[in-house]
Amino acid sequence: MTEQYVPPKIWVHDTNGGNKWANINRPESGATHDKVLPSGEHKIQLYSLGTPNGQKVTIMLEELLALGISEAEYDAYLINIGEGDQFSSGFVEVNPNSKIPALVDKTSGDDLNVFESASILVHLAEKFDQFLPASGAARTATFNWLFWAQGSAPFLGGGFGHFYAYADEKFEYPINRFAMEAKRQLDVLDKQLANNTFVTGEEITIADMAIWPWYGNLVLGNLYDAAEFLQVETYTNVMRWAKLLEQRQGFQRGRTVNRPFGEEWEKVQERHSAADIDAVLAKKPK
């Protein structure tokens, strides 16, 4: 029998580990250093990183702009979580939980801080009266699937993604545990999409914008390099939906924002106007 880990009587934070991603967080909240957040000319200020959670909001904003809603213009500043930007005094003031994305809405004249990706999506949907049904069963269904994403994605990211792609050592038990859950979630989503063009029906909603950055990117091979391992091609309805949304202008543009990694044609570290994205997308191979 191999040596097993025995938890100590009292947990102690080990700061000696070398894993960059495992060492991002700490058991205390609050700021570690003073730094004022930058602010641009638009009423909407976004502080984020182009991870799946960050993509939710930039996709939403770009979809709004694609509809011609100029009031959705925004400045997007990079929060490099690997460098601890989320622990600056300015960021903690906006989001005391020190997680991206965080948004400041200056429309009313006073700063309105909005954090947690689902909260931001709802705020923008209600602000601009788009992508969220006003009432009834369709509104409830949208919230059902929005919060399904919020509850499910941590098992995909912090669970499967961490142990499969980021952990220093690969262990069978956690990978098997979270691979099973990731595949179960894909099956849930696949069955929902069997009779729906979009997640909740025939109209795109904020539920699609919350789910696609995680599950769409996963089946398209953009997340954790795990497409073959999870046999994502067997989830044919998810694949169809993922490719459909991938073709939308808002999704193509939104997934590039606050992204310091990837190909040159998908890296827009800061966004202050449409031209910032245009310049980067122009580099995409034809």
User: What string of pLDDT tens digits covers the 286 residues of the chain?
Assistant: 467 889 999 999 887 766 776 677 889 999 999 999 999 999 999 999 999 999 999 999 999 999 999 999 999 999 999 999 999 999 999 999 999 999 999 999 899 999 999 999 999 999 999 999 999 999 999 999 999 999 999 999 999 999 999 998 999 999 999 999 999 999 999 999 999 999 999 999 999 999 999 999 999 999 999 999 999 999 999 999 999 999 999 999 999 999 999 999 999 999 999 999 999 999 999 8
- pLDDT computed for residue 25 by the predictor: 81
d(CA 275, CA 206): 25
Encode 142-168: b = buried (16+ Cβ within 10 Å), e = exposed: bbebbebbbebbebbbebbbbbbeeee
Write the CB contacts of 244 (distance below 8 Å, at least 6 apart in sequence).
Answer: 197
List Cα–Cα distances, 232 to 59, 173, 191, 203, 239, in angstroms. Answer: 23, 21, 14, 24, 8
Number of Cβ atoms within 10 Å of the Cβ of 277: 21
The answer to whether 123 and 103 are in contact (CB under 8 A) is yes
**208 Ramachandran zone, left/alpha/beta (phi>0; psi -120 to 50):** alpha
- pLDDT computed for residue 196 by the predictor: 98
Q: What SS3 state is found at 102?
A: strand
d(CA 190, CA 36): 44
- pLDDT computed for residue 16 by the predictor: 73
- Closest by CA to 103, choosing from 219, 257, 274, is 257
Tell me the two tokens of residue 269. 């570290």
The answer to whether 285 and 265 are in contact (CB under 8 A) is yes
Write the CB contacts of 85 (distance below 8 Å, at least 6 apart in sequence).
Answer: 35, 78, 79, 91
The answer to whether 54 and 120 are in contact (CB under 8 A) is no
Q: Whole-model pTM?
A: 0.96
Q: Return phi, psi of residue 65, to 5°.
A: -65, -35
Let me know how many helices (H) and strands (E) the chain has, helices first.
11, 4
The answer to whether 210 and 146 are in contact (CB under 8 A) is yes
Number of Cβ atoms within 10 Å of the Cβ of 7: 6
Q: Return phi, psi of residue 119, to 5°.
A: -65, -40
Rg of the chain over Cα atoms, rounded to whole angstroms, equals 19
Tell me the two tokens of residue 257. 């924002």
Q: Is 31 exposed, middle or buried (0-12, 13-18, 19+ CB in 10 A)?
A: middle
